[in-house]
Structure 1
Amino acid sequence: MEKMTLFFTELLDHDRDDVICDQDFDPFFEKLAHFADWSADSSEFHIMLEVKREFIEQFINPLPPK
């Protein structure tokens, strides 16, 4: 349980409000790009931004009303 709490807090919940929102993903994806040594103009970086956008759209944004 401690490992999951650490993962949640350190990688996903940067503002420490116990809720993951789209702003929390900026530092996470910045860490990924830094770790992979991708520059902001690399194709890999732009693919990562697309993945981030889709991830937020699918998992963070509310579902449309039925």
Structure 2
Amino acid sequence: MIYSAYGNEEYFGIVAKLKAEGLKYRTHIPNRGFDNRVDRFKDHTQFDIYVKKEDEHLAVKALHKRYSNH
């Protein structure tokens, strides 16, 4: 496991960085049960992101890389 993202926005941002480097990954969503009513509209979903052990150093490097639109 290289990263635990919380919420769709963070998850898709992390996955985009891995995809940009051509890295394959898999995702596991732990069973969290139900949130209370106050938090039901907030996205607190946990996504555990995994890569192969031999790709770990490349994935960490990709996650720290900043991408620009220029």
TM-score (norm 2): 0.30
The alignment's TM-score, normalised by the length of structure 1, stands at 0.31
Structure having greater relative contact order (Cα 8 Å, sep ≥ 6) = 2
The structure richer in strand per residue is 2
